[in-house]
Chains A and B, each alone.
Chain A
């Protein structure tokens, strides 16, 4: 009320200035122009908005059950009891929530309405009891009450849909045609989400698009960089376009929590989990798979969280994201998920299981797809108390044929790492020592592309070394391992190909005692960052694996994230808001030169926009590499131009700033001079200011220390 009174005061104040007597105005008669609210949201609107969030029509808790028996009056109570029994198992039926209409004779009509406490329960009831067989001739058909309106509207005769005129869309790949061949990235800081160019030549980012409250949780690029996906309460949305970011499609999925694109960005998987109405139940999860371009829902999966928990023989509950792993390269042909004692592989042509059944594999723990081919690698632990060995096997899809299998003994855990072209698979195997008290680690290296898939065993020189990190060189033949004990582990580089013995893995070098716990290969290979994140305060070492030499060492204090740009020219290191101080990001060149740094409070996310794979043939690429000097000349000249221009601009800017300052100071000094007398008076006439301050006066002081008189005898005529 006080606010009201204050507002009223203001109105009176303004009107008196304008010469209007406020008492003569009927405030209610003022009507704002149509569609104009002067930036004020009326109270009604706010209430309406809030309502929308909660329910749509209020009828979403009601289901209609069809095909129930038609019974005379005498049997009404019995039937009602049966139905109530069936449905109260699923959810809480509201008081008077079950209504079975009858005709004039009291005979039921073969359907009834049931109202639940929550829409989720109604939804669940619909899913669970559609097709419920009460007896042979009564199979339930259940629909949402809300849907009836929709069903009624279906015209009796089929009419061909109107042809929509083709509207040319924007060029979604426009960002790739940037003249300066720059890359984009997205950042989230505070409530703002911003897409920027990495303008490394000018040593600053160049803004593309900025929007506050763009997403309600996080943003994600699609794997080929075409779309930027945002998450909202109502669902997910993708954005893209030529000049700015327009919304291209929306995917309805209330309370969506995670999203995942297929490798070829044809499909989008969305995930949400819902609190159960009954605390004893597990969470219900909903997964939808959409076609990205059309927005059509291709398939949905619903069930309890347990069903989607990762495999094993009954392992830990909890869903790990992504639930579905996409395989088979960029064609998006297959996707798979792991369940209890099975792996379900689906194909995208029909969105059904391949061969209509899942792969039955007892106690399967983990699986991964080859990044290039439809090959699954899976791991099964030891069974029967060690009688049945653990194994890693490779399975071809859709034939489901086992390509290769390796039995392993006394295994405690396995981790699988594919090389990005699917040429090699490294399996890190933790084995128990004989006493079973400790473990040691070795690697099984599969050469997928060679005949019969030969396997090689790699053991470190010191078998007891802990493995801290492992990483394949993208598209390459080398890999790096951080092994040993923190805080000073060693880093070793190996190659799968060496000059004299092509089929053997050889060690290239070992770097002793590095402060590192993470490896980041350049996407183009050859260069790697040995990073000490978290506990190591953000130590960075830029290493050239071709020459086996360190190019630079640097530090981004407290860095939490490191990401190479998709071309391997630049690296971003970021401190996200897990730390309080110094949030922001640094951009480095590939060889470890700091190009620029941006500080932003509440910095949440940094993500480079991915690029689709190159369209050049390998021969063409080789040719470019051979004649690199010729090509680079042009770009070096451009670089030179830009840097001269920049330094000139910078000089100009500085000169202007200096000049501006000088002018300002001069104006001030003039006033200061004019005020001199006044100042002197304030100081009782003491000559003020600078001039006397450092005046050196030479003063000669003569001091008489002592005076003595002495009589000197003087005699005439001596």
Chain B
């Protein structure tokens, strides 16, 4: 089926997120307005106005009532999904790079960039059930990463926080005490900055994508390297199908290095890999520019990609896809 081209953002896409039911799709871009779409037909439902900088990341609560967004304007905001009203604003001293709700939506992990004298940090905030009770205090602040932390997510049962970023090291922290529990070793780990991290549905494993032109699959508990997916482009985004053992990698030549001669040079297609055999299966072309964001619908029957070109492309899989034999 032809992909649905979703035009609404004026600047490169940065992040995509489906809600749990898979009927809504939230998109973040370098323009200042996160947008919500119908995940089925790509119709735009509404926007969340209030940020004053590029929006890097978002997450939506399990019941799809609240949205959290992290922005380069040094704030993280809580929104009502339905009305688009701002409920609360966390203020920081540096841009917020990633946000993630915990299981139960009572905590949120936020990463902040190094900025001026401030070093990068991972901060945990308590999210009050009633927005009126919300306060800005951090439950926990973790430091130790060199450079930007591109993604931090919750481990199983909110016991751990898993973070990865520019220093190419994946770290697992204890979410109670803030102690560093485990980190990826140099030998197996990525060689260049990690750009993205996607957690499997049961949090048993996760995939990281890196500028070293590879993606790696890790065991969440032991941080054991399970698989490596080699590719020929820097990886900006990764996603895993919840239905089939597939991994999707997106990326491409850095936007500043894109030649004007031939779009094939950039490798801007989303590549599907067999998760177990680590073999490339097929590619989905379309973006004119690197892919910055990827997300799978929780039902596994569609996925979308967001590119440097400012478009979101929504693909519903054809029947053939589900019967691919490698």
Contact = CB atoms under 8 A, between A and B. Distances in A.
A580 B102 CA distance: 41
B62 A683 contact: yes
Contact of B257 (A580, A669, A682): A580
B230 interface: yes
A654 interface: yes
A658 B265 CA distance: 34
Given A599-B230, A599-B232, A683-B62, A665 B204 contact: yes
Nearest to B230: A599
A658 B103 contact: no
Contact of A537 (B103, B230, B262, B275): B262
B265 A557 contact: yes
A661 interface: yes
A682 B103 contact: yes
B157 A581 contact: no
B277 interface: yes
Nearest to A653: B277
A679 B232 contact: no
A684 interface: yes
Contact of B157 (A558, A658, A679): A679
A168 to B, nearest CB: 43
B243 to A, nearest CB: 12
Given A580-B257, A661-B276, A679-B157, A672 B204 contact: yes
B133 interface: no
B158 interface: yes
B187 interface: no
B306 to A, nearest CB: 22
B156 interface: yes
A623 B267 CA distance: 50
Interface in A541-596: 557-558, 580-582
A537 B158 CA distance: 51
Interface range for B: 20 to 34
A657 B102 CA distance: 32
Given A581-B232, A582-B232, A665-B204, A557 B264 contact: yes
A654 B245 CA distance: 14
Contact of A581 (B226, B245, B265): B265
A672 B155 CA distance: 12
A678 interface: yes
Contacts of A580: 257
Interface in A649-698: 654, 657-658, 661, 664-665, 668-669, 672, 675, 678-679, 682-684
Contact of B202 (A657, A672, A678): A672
Nearest to A690: B201
A684 B204 CA distance: 22
Contacts of B326: 654
Interface string A183-220: 00000000000000000000000000000000000000
Contact of B253 (A537, A581, A679, A684): A581
A684 B103 CA distance: 10
Contacts of B264: 537, 557
A558 B253 CA distance: 15
Nearest to B252: A581
A664 B157 contact: no
Contacts of B157: 675, 678-679, 682
| Most chain A CB within a 10 A radius of its CB, from B204, B253, B264, B275 | B204
Interface residues of A, number: 22
Interface string B249-267: 0000100010000101101
B290 to A, nearest CB: 12
Contact of A682 (B158, B205, B267): B158
B202 A669 contact: yes
Contacts of B257: 580
Interface string A266-287: 0000000000000000000000
Contacts of B158: 682
A675 B276 CA distance: 26
Contacts of B204: 665, 668-669, 672
Contacts of B106: 682
A63 B196 CA distance: 68
B267 A581 contact: yes
Contacts of B232: 581-582, 599
Nearest to B158: A682
Contacts of A682: 102-104, 106, 157-158
A537 B264 CA distance: 10
B57 to A, nearest CB: 22
| Most chain B CB within a 10 A radius of its CB, from A580, A668, A675 | A668
Interface string A588-617: 000000000001000000000000000000
Contacts of B230: 599
Nearest to A535: B261
B282 to A, nearest CB: 17
A675 B245 CA distance: 24
A680 to B, nearest CB: 10
Nearest to A683: B104
Contacts of B62: 683
Nearest to B220: A668
Interface in B211-231: 219, 226, 230
A675 B156 contact: yes
A80 to B, nearest CB: 66
Given A537-B262, A557-B264, A580-B257, A657 B104 contact: no
B255 to A, nearest CB: 14
B226 A664 contact: yes
Nearest to A680: B104
B276 A658 contact: yes
Contacts of A678: 157
Interface string B100-116: 00111010000000000
| Most chain A CB within a 10 A radius of its CB, from B158, B202, B267 | B202
Nearest to A668: B204
Contacts of A599: 230, 232
Nearest to B219: A664
A654 B279 CA distance: 11
Contacts of B253: 581
Contacts of B102: 682
A658 B104 CA distance: 33
A691 to B, nearest CB: 13
Nearest to A654: B277
A672 B202 CA distance: 7
A107 B157 CA distance: 102
A410 B37 CA distance: 74
Given A657-B276, A661-B245, A682-B103, 15 more contacts: A581-B232, A581-B233, A582-B267, A599-B230, A654-B277, A657-B277, A661-B276, A665-B204, A668-B202, A668-B205, A672-B202, A675-B157, A678-B157, A682-B104, A682-B106
Interface of B: 62, 102-104, 106, 156-158, 202, 204-205, 219, 226, 230, 232-233, 245, 253, 257, 262, 264-265, 267, 275-277, 326
A-B complex: 9 closest residue pairs judged by Cβ atoms? A682-B104, A668-B204, A661-B276, A683-B104, A682-B103, A582-B232, A672-B202, A657-B276, A599-B232
19 contacts: A580-B257, A581-B265, A582-B267, A599-B232, A654-B277, A654-B326, A657-B277, A664-B226, A668-B204, A669-B204, A672-B202, A675-B156, A675-B157, A679-B103, A679-B157, A682-B102, A682-B104, A682-B157, A684-B104
